[in-house]
């Protein structure tokens, strides 16, 4: 069965609520907001991380992941990201100040670096561990992308962090093999100004966005990245608007 699992489904941290991380296979995740705690020793098998953007809630486990298994690691940890995201990680996190630059540290007894960065381009397809991932440009405060993921012949589009964004819906309408959409809703609609300024979504923004769907084929829609303190309010609003969406939580497994 073709499944993907949300190790972290929220836009912040709370009790039992962790930041964004989607496990696509034993070796591959999208984003790194929550890898070590849910996977424990199995986190050592993660070799490929595709990032949506550079915000802390999406990258925070990268420094700890490489550090935790450094002495045992036999192959580099590959980080796929937009060039601007890679530049931010190098400048602000792996800079020998906040954390060692593992992109400059050889694996023990090997010539390869511990972390390898792979710059990605929107619209190109990347094949790893039997999966294919195609970055799709999104609309956030920093350069960002979602991904069309293909696993065992099934396709999903995960937006990750975004405000209203035509490219997402163009992709959904163009590729009718996509049967699953995961889109963020960070704030309730009363906080629309903040959502707009921070380039996130509210239920009312989502309601308008869903009108851009012109295709007939069925689409299962899931919502993630709620701010932990606002989850109940967002849930009530989504129900009141009668939007055909399912809210995710940590540990949720989606069957494509």
Return residues touching Zn ion (CB under 5 A).
11, 55, 57, 161
The answer to whether the Cα torsion of 211, 213, 214, 216 is positive or negative is negative
- Report whether 134 contacts 124 (CB < 8 A): yes
Closest separation in Å from C-beta 229 to Zn ion = 15
Q: Rounded distance, CA 194 to CA 31, Å? A: 24
When the beta carbons of 21 and 156 are compared against Zn ion, the nearer one is 21
When the beta carbons of 55 and 134 are compared against Zn ion, the nearer one is 55
Closest separation in Å from C-beta 188 to Zn ion = 17
Beta strands in the chain (DSSP E): 3-8, 21-23, 28-30, 48-50, 77-81, 115-119, 126-128, 131-137, 145-151, 154-158, 178-184, 220-224, 245-247, 253-255
Closest separation in Å from C-beta 106 to Zn ion = 32
When the beta carbons of 161 and 237 are compared against Zn ion, the nearer one is 161
Q: Longest Cα pair distance anywhere in the chain, in angstroms?
A: 59
When the beta carbons of 2 and 37 are compared against Zn ion, the nearer one is 37
Closest separation in Å from C-beta 57 to Zn ion = 4
When the beta carbons of 53 and 73 are compared against Zn ion, the nearer one is 53
- Give burial (CB, 10 Å; 0-12/13-18/19+) of 94: buried
- Nearest alpha-carbon partner for 158 in 82, 224, 210, 208: 224
- Nearest alpha-carbon partner for 112 in 76, 86, 78, 62: 76
When the beta carbons of 55 and 155 are compared against Zn ion, the nearer one is 55
Name the DSSP class of 64. H
Q: Rounded distance, CA 47 to CA 129, Å? A: 10
Closest separation in Å from C-beta 143 to Zn ion = 11
Closest separation in Å from C-beta 130 to Zn ion = 27
């Amino acid at each position: 069965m073709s499944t993907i699992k949300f190790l972290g489904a929220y836009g912040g941290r709370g009790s039992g609520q962790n930041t964004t991380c989607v496990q696509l296979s034993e070796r591959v995740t999208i984003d790194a907001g929550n890898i070590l705690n849910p996977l424990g020793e199995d986190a050592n098998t993660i070799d490929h991380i595709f990032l949506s953007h550079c915000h802390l809630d999406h990258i925070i486990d990268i420094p700890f992941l490489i550090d935790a298994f450094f002495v045992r690691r036999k192959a580099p940890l590959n980080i796929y990201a937009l060039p601007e995201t890679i530049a931010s990680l190098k400048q602000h996190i792996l800079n020998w100040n906040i954390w060692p630059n593992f992109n400059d540290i050889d694996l023990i007894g090997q010539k390869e670096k511990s972390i390898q960065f792979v710059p990605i381009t929107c619209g190109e397809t990347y094949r790893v561990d039997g999966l294919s991932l195609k970055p799709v440009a999104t609309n956030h405060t920093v350069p960002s992308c979602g991904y069309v993921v293909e696993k065992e012949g099934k396709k999903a589009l995960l937006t990750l962090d975004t405000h209203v964004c035509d490219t997402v819906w163009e992709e959904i309408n163009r590729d009718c093999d996509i049967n699953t959409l995961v889109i963020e809703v960070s704030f309730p609609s009363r906080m629309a100004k903040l959502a707009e300024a921070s380039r996130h979504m509210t239920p009312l923004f989502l309601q308008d966005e869903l009108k851009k769907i012109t295709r007939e084929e069925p689409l299962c829609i899931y919502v993630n990245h709620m701010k932990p303190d606002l989850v109940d309010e967002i849930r009530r609003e989504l129900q009141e608007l009668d939007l055909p969406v399912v809210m995710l939580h940590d540990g949720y497994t989606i069957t494509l």
